[in-house]
Structure 1
Amino acid sequence: MKTVKLETELDAPVEQVWSIFADVTRSDWVPGVDAITEEDGIRSFNMAGIGEVQEKILKLDHQNHCLQYSAIKTPSGVDHHLAIVQLAPLANDRCRLQWTTEIEPEQFAIAIEQAMKLSLDGLRGVLASDG
């Protein structure tokens, strides 16, 4: 199993960033995804170049700004996927984002890391336009 970890500081208050992650059907910050649906804790979407993906929302903790989800259906044969997004407030209306993904088989780690980085860029773009 491989673990991919991104950590960065964002120029936005924790509540503003959390509102994006907490809306598990929001897709405007995720490249290659036009729409996300959610039913009974499972979100579903089609990702350009990949196909249909389903993720189970394992934890949505508004108080501690923590989201955990796991891919339960992918066209690529992922054996294990667990992602954790954790936000923490910083001074001056900023926050720290820590995004960790466990993936098996390890061959998918590079693609997962690239997708996470592109999504982080998309998040920054949405925050800039919202702010």
Structure 2
Amino acid sequence: MSAFQIPGFQERQQAAARARSAALAKYKARLPVDESVLAERTARRVAREKAEAEKKAAARRAREAAARAKEEAVEAKREQVRQAAVAAEAVVKAERDAEVQARADAKAKKREERLLWTEEDRKAARDARYAARKARRAR
């Protein structure tokens, strides 16, 4: 059994020339393309490309509409949150104002009552404060 021989340069050139001539013969042996068939293929290809382009455009429009709707929903939610925050802030401010007013009213009422106290009432209040202080220290 003989060993494998690496082909030389001329052998490679001849093999390439044979392959080229075989490809050329195969190309020349093909039947000529009819113009009507070629026009029909072209029309089908153009119609297919047009349909694909329309489909892509419709999908893009649908995506854009969905994104727009989502952004509008997010903006509406933000507006709701903003309005809720403003309302909550108004409630807190009203509560704070009411509390301040109640304190001021209580302080004014207490001041008016103290003006009406007699010496015995002042002494009783002083004794009550003293007793309360003693009770706190006793704990």
Q: Same fold (TM over 0.5)?
A: no
- When normalised by structure 1's length, the TM-score is 0.21
Higher helix share: 2
Name which structure has the greater RCO, CA cutoff 8 Å, separation 6+: 1
Larger Rg: 2
More strand by share: 1
